[in-house]
Amino acid sequence: MKKIIHLLAGGPKHLVPPLQDWDAQEIIWVGVDRGVKRLLDQGIKPTMAIGDFDSVDQVEWEFIEDNLQKYAKFNPEKDETDMELALNWALEQKPDVIRIFGATGGRLDHFFSAAYMLAKDDVLLHPTSIEIIDRSNIITVLSPGTYNLEKNSFPYVSFLPINGEIFGLTLTGVKYPLTNHPIVRGSTLCISNELVNDFGSVSFDEGILMMIRSKDE
């Protein structure tokens, strides 16, 4: 059985998919700052809570303390974001999959820091599959290699270079295929592609690529 960890941050509620759709007995839930209260409010008891908790008031913090057996509370004046601390903890557990919820919408600095955090060298080298998920998007960051794509309820697939030029990009099974094509940072060439078969693939030789699976709400 796969080891799966879900992180819930405190981003806008309307962008978070129904958590019950992503819950199962084997899932390890982690509340990130205010995300821990949202989990408790929905009847999901997290295994761990991490953050400085500066977004909860005293009454809410006492509620969190009363309902959790384990948490890590940090000084607000720190070098890492709450999400980075939570992701580091999750990676130390050596899971197969990490999914991050509540990290999109609201403050753009929070979103971009979470997205670019997935491109850190030590994260990319980790064998864990990591996704940022909201109601309309699934975001992953890819290092060079070959990846299978499967048609799902997110029909659009886009690719964005995030650290310079991508070399050898090949897309198969999609409406707009590419073969051994370079793309540079800032290019919109690979926006809003679509799978035309049940399965496709993306491969490239050099660079770091952000993949976004999307749907219209």
Same domain for 176 and 104, yes or no, is: no
Instruction: Tell me if 140 is assigned to some domain.
Output: no
Number of domains in the chain: 2
Which residue do the tokens 């205010």 mark? 34
Secondary structure class of 119 (helix, strand, coil): coil
Q: Which residue, among 118, 90, 84, has the nearest Cα to 27 in the 3D structure?
A: 90
What is the model's pLDDT at position 25? Answer: 83
Q: What is the pLDDT of residues 108-166, one digit of tens each?
A: 888 888 898 999 888 988 889 999 999 999 999 999 999 999 999 999 999 999 988 99
Same domain for 11 and 95, yes or no, is: yes
Q: Which domain holds residue 9?
A: 4-135
Same domain for 152 and 126, yes or no, is: no
Q: What is the pLDDT of residues 121-132, one digit of tens each?
A: 889 888 899 999
Same domain for 122 and 203, yes or no, is: no
DSSP E strands, 13-68 = 28-32, 48-51
Q: What is the pLDDT of residues 15-70, one digit of tens each?
A: 999 999 999 889 999 999 999 999 999 999 999 999 998 888 889 888 888 888 89
- Domain boundary among the residues 135, 163, 178 is at 135
C-alpha–C-alpha distance, residues 175 and 216, integer Å: 18
What is the H or E stretch that residue 83 is in?
A: helix 82-92
